[in-house]
Structure 1
Amino acid sequence: MAGGPTTPELVAAISNAGGLGNLGAGYLTPEQLRSMIREIKQLTDQPFGVNLFVPEQRIESEETIGQMADHLNIYRVELGIAQNPAIQKYSESFEEQVQVLLDEEIPVFSFTFGIPPQDVIQTMKQRGTIVIGTATTIEEAKQLEAAGVDAIVAQGSEAGGHRGTFLKSVSDTQIGTMALVPQIVDHVTIPVIASGGIMDGRGLVASLALGAAAVQMGTAFLACPESGAHTTYKQKILSGNEDCTEITRVYSGKAARGIRTEFMNDMHRYPGNIPAYPIQNAMTRDIRQAAAKANNPEYMSLWAGQGLRLATDRSAAVTVKQTIDQANVLVKLIFNLRRVGD
């Protein structure tokens, strides 16, 4: 949800409705991050969270970067933008982002792509902030618990956006939510949050039955009025099917699930090496931004999970309420069935 979809309005609306709104802040500058946190605080007095990307040290050869730059110029010509744009930096400073979170005393800090330095986790906890990590395997979950996090997001392969895998290759960690959640629950002692393909009350009840303490939903909110997703992006979400997404590295250099596009199809035939994240992410940014301005979804990164056929354009508050109401109806139905069986 980083990169625009999670606005202060969306975060606050979810928290005000009884959920825990989260700001996807991985791409925000420290100044933007501070401003958005303060705006959220103006819109809600309820708890909310902020999610950051754990930095990765990746080195790419000049040859790999140069070849990719030349290839991307093909799309720049097609979109009518300048070739070989200068890239000032590949990513924001994680340390500076963390300092903003500490300064602003946020209620919940979540992260993905790995495990932050121990001093970051401990300082957050000392300040009273709940710390949540992301795991795609049982071993990752065990390492997160050993690192001292308070809860773990179990990210199934159905989830939209970037994979949180950090111990093995993504191809070895495509475990579905239904299989992943109960196994992580059985191997850690802290709360587990189910994520991936959960779109309504049915997914919530199923996750609780598997042992999860809560669920994390992203795609379900992408088309909400409060979402900052591009209008064309929202239209693709609302018209998409369960089989129109795939996991790709072509946009950012890191595996992520999104709606299939012409850019993905074409880049999958690229004969060279794709620079790792965040290098590739920075190299394709101008193409994605130009495509958004031109309302051309075929060159935009349209992150989405496999449950997107269930997405609606209802408000965030209504989405939260209907999810809870549907879950309550199902729980009562199950309870009554058990009573009849007894």
Structure 2
Amino acid sequence: MWYQTKASKILGIQYPILQGPFGGNLSSVELVATVSNLGGLGGYGAYNLSPQEILEVDKQIRLATNKPYNINLFVSETDAVNGTVSDEHFNRAQQLFKPYFDELGIALPGKPEPFKSRFENQIEMILHQRPPVFSFMFGSPSADILEQCHRLGIVTIGAATTLDEAIVLESAGVDMIIASGFEAGGHRPSFLASAESSTIGTFVLLQLIKERVKIPVVAAGGIANGKGVAAALALGADAAQIGTAFLATDESNATAIHKQMLLSDAAKYTTLSRAYTGRLGRGISSRIAKDLVSLEKDFLPFPLQTTFMSHLRKAAMANEKWDMVLFWAGQITPVLKHTKASELMKSILEEANNYFDDLKA
């Protein structure tokens, strides 16, 4: 059967369908459990959670499903040297964004506190809780951490945006690689070169990686239905990861307006920008992203830009200034149809089944 792949066997799932793990409080236990209970692999983005919060989420997921699931972290959590920036740099960023704060009638926020890494404590909780699958972005954990994961029976999955990154991940000893194409919504998880120089399409990237690595590869970006899954498998993928389509469902923790925007005409236009977090990410085109496209050198580094822009986002949401808000979305968004995760999952499987059955006819 088409769904009996190396990935589904390693992950212990029935179907090689992974639900993209959303950071920024967009993930939900309900969505993870729904996908896992239907034979896929639910995913929870936990990079912004404390170790105690990861513990609570893991407990809740285990109560909601007895099937495999994935918890995702960021290996590299900041691009700020020593966790901060100079006053001069911060003042430039303030002046750049001041017109938007003025438009919303709110004061410019002060300089964010220096960022302190949480990954070391977060990974201790991962090793303590032993989720079936641990995935990560923006690099690879140390050899010692990966060895501990393997010893504890935790499947490890790293994200690559280039062939070079995939080779590094395989050499590090990960079990599986996410081939993240530039069509995907959310952050570009590049870690060897700039994200701007790592914009390869999913199906090209997939083929490049399959030529050079031996471990299973998961195609991610621009996949939202069964035909997309079938296309990925035909090109050598061992599984497909679907993000935006699941983000738009009732079960995700995205806001009601975010889901509404994903199903609106605005979703026809997406863009890659650093304006909202300091790291390159794809979302529905916004006025701020367009206005400042050539001024990104003055943005704050991740995640200080996120902290700075959170004040503007809160005010923009309260005033329904949707063109000033970033709504994460992939390029495939205009084809979305389903608002229930179970219906989406069943539709994906039915469409993939029909495609492969027709090949046999």
Out of 19, 26, 31, which is 1:5 matched to? 26
SS of structure 1 residue aligned to 2:73: strand
- Residue number in structure 2 paired with 1:95: 120
CA distance in 2, matches of 1:295, 1:92: 33
- Residue number in structure 2 paired with 1:312: 337
1:317 is aligned with what amino acid? Answer: S
- Residue number in structure 2 paired with 1:193: 218
State the Cα distance separating 1:80 from its structure 2 match. Answer: 3.8
CA distance in 2, matches of 1:50, 1:158: 23
2:80 is aligned with what amino acid? Answer: R
CA distance in 1, matches of 2:170, 2:261: 37
1:244 is aligned with what amino acid? Answer: Y
2:37 is aligned with what amino acid? Answer: N
- Residue number in structure 1 paired with 2:80: 58
CA distance in 2, matches of 1:334, 1:161: 34
1:30 is aligned with what amino acid? Answer: P
Q: Which moved more, 1:123-132 or 1:202-211?
A: 123-132
The residue correspondences of 1:250-269 to structure 2 (distance < 5 A) are 250-268=275-293
State the Cα distance separating 1:225 from its structure 2 match. Answer: 0.8
State the Cα distance separating 1:91 from its structure 2 match. Answer: 6.0
Q: Does 1:224 align with 2:249?
A: yes
Out of 316, 323, 333, which is 2:348 matched to? 323
1:31 is aligned with what amino acid? Answer: Q
| Structure 2 CA distance for partners of 1:39 and 1:294, relative to 1, 3 Å | farther
1:62 is aligned with what amino acid? Answer: D
State the Cα distance separating 1:88 from its structure 2 match. Answer: 3.9
Mapped contact 2:282–2:329 kept (Cα < 8 A) = yes
1:202 is aligned with what amino acid? Answer: K
- Residue number in structure 2 paired with 1:125: 150
Mapped contact 1:161–1:303 kept (Cα < 8 A) = yes
State the Cα distance separating 1:31 from its structure 2 match. Answer: 2.5
Structure 1 stretches of 5 or more lacking a match?
A: 337-342
- Residue number in structure 1 paired with 2:15: none
- Residue number in structure 2 paired with 1:339: none
CA-to-aligned-CA distance 1:231-258 (integer Å, 9 cap, x gap): 1111110014664001111111111111
CA-to-aligned-CA distance 1:114-169 (integer Å, 9 cap, x gap): 12222222212211100000001111100000000000000011111100111122
Normalising by structure 2, we get a TM-score of 0.88
Q: Which moved more, 1:64-73 or 1:178-187?
A: 64-73
| Structure 2 CA distance for partners of 1:107 and 1:289, relative to 1, 3 Å | farther
CA distance in 2, matches of 1:73, 1:86: 14
Out of 158, 168, 172, which is 2:197 matched to? 172
Structure 2 stretches of 5 or more lacking a match?
A: 1-21
| Structure 2 CA distance for partners of 1:243 and 1:309, relative to 1, 3 Å | closer
State the Cα distance separating 1:40 from its structure 2 match. Answer: 1.2
Normalising by structure 1, we get a TM-score of 0.92
| Structure 2 CA distance for partners of 1:77 and 1:91, relative to 1, 3 Å | farther
Q: Does 1:34 align with 2:55?
A: yes
| Structure 2 CA distance for partners of 1:312 and 1:293, relative to 1, 3 Å | farther
SS of structure 2 residue aligned to 1:277: coil
Matched positions, count: 336
State the Cα distance separating 1:5 from its structure 2 match. Answer: 2.0
1:100 is aligned with what amino acid? Answer: M
| Structure 2 CA distance for partners of 1:288 and 1:298, relative to 1, 3 Å | same
CA distance in 2, matches of 1:332, 1:12: 28
2:34 is aligned with what amino acid? Answer: A
CA RMSD of aligned residues (A): 1.9
SS of structure 2 residue aligned to 1:37: helix
Q: Does 1:292 align with 2:314?
A: no
2:204 is aligned with what amino acid? Answer: A
- Residue number in structure 1 paired with 2:109: 84
Q: Does 1:43 align with 2:64?
A: yes
